[in-house]
Amino acid sequence: MSTSRTSFHATEPVPAPGSDQVPVPGRDPASASGRGSFTGLVLTLAMAVAALLFHPAAFAQQAAPPQAAAAQDGSPPSPGGGNGILVAYFSHEGHTRALAEIIHAAVGGDLFEIRAVKSYPLDHEQAVSIGKDEQAAQIRPALAANVPDMSKYSTVILGYPIWWGDPPMAVYTFVETHDLGGKTVAPFCTHGGSGLSRTVQSLQEKISGGKVLPGLAVRSNSADSSGDEAREWLQKSGIPLLPRQ
């Protein structure tokens, strides 16, 4: 994983797929060719649309996955906005982000990055040391942003790296400050060899009234290529998959 994936200035919560898309006006060829008095106007509009489509900023946004209403098993979307699925993750060095993006592409819904207000140093050893201290003191770092409306979601797919056999403390901040009661929580992690450790039980202890499913553990160096494993886990967890692209 290249360190270029690491970002401490990542985006705010990503809105529901489609919600940030600007509708492109339809272009009726008849209106351009058959109505001379409107030709100039139509040409101007077409140029404006082309400029919008090919402007570099149009490619800066994350491609929104298709609506999960097209779930493979034909089940209707869950109540609330979108398909009721939130993929929330913490990532310091980018591996968990890579896996979260793979999972998000497989299920749709919304993608949210859990970030602490105070970012961790890029230096691995320093981060390891701070992570250990925070765990020892059971710190709950303040989050840079919160999910605005948790009631939209019935399923939260929660990703984190393993830090000293635990999720980073910011993940505990997230589960303790967001109402996960009545929701299904599917945890996944990336790790350097410890697997999930005790994190599933630990999350279940902190999420009262929510059901934590068996988790998915992927080694850091496999995070980029774990699509099949992730889809299999999602299917076993009863989370509807979008058709493969």
Ligand X SMILES: Cc1cc2nc3c(=O)[nH]c(=O)nc-3n(C[C@H](O)[C@H](O)[C@H](O)COP(=O)(O)O)c2cc1C
Q: Which residues bind ligand X (CB under 6 A)?
A: 91-97, 127-128, 131, 161-165, 190-194, 220
Pair type for strands 85-89 and 216-219: unpaired
DSSP reduced 3-state for 150:
helix
Q: How far is the CB of 226 from ligand X (least distance, A)?
A: 11
Nearer to ligand X, 89 or 153 (CB): 89
Nearer to ligand X, 134 or 152 (CB): 134
Q: How far is the CB of 63 from ligand X (least distance, A)?
A: 21
Q: How far is the CB of 18 from ligand X (least distance, A)?
A: 27
Q: What does the block give as tokens for 241?
A: 């998959």
Nearer to ligand X, 115 or 191 (CB): 191
Report the alpha-carbon distance of residue 215 to residue 230 in Å, rounded: 10
Q: How far is the CB of 90 from ligand X (least distance, A)?
A: 7
- What is the DSSP secondary-structure string of 38-56? GHHHHHHHHHHHHHHHHST
* Vertex 29: Cα angle to 25 and 34 (nearest 5): 125
Q: What does the block give as tokens for 138?
A: 């059971």
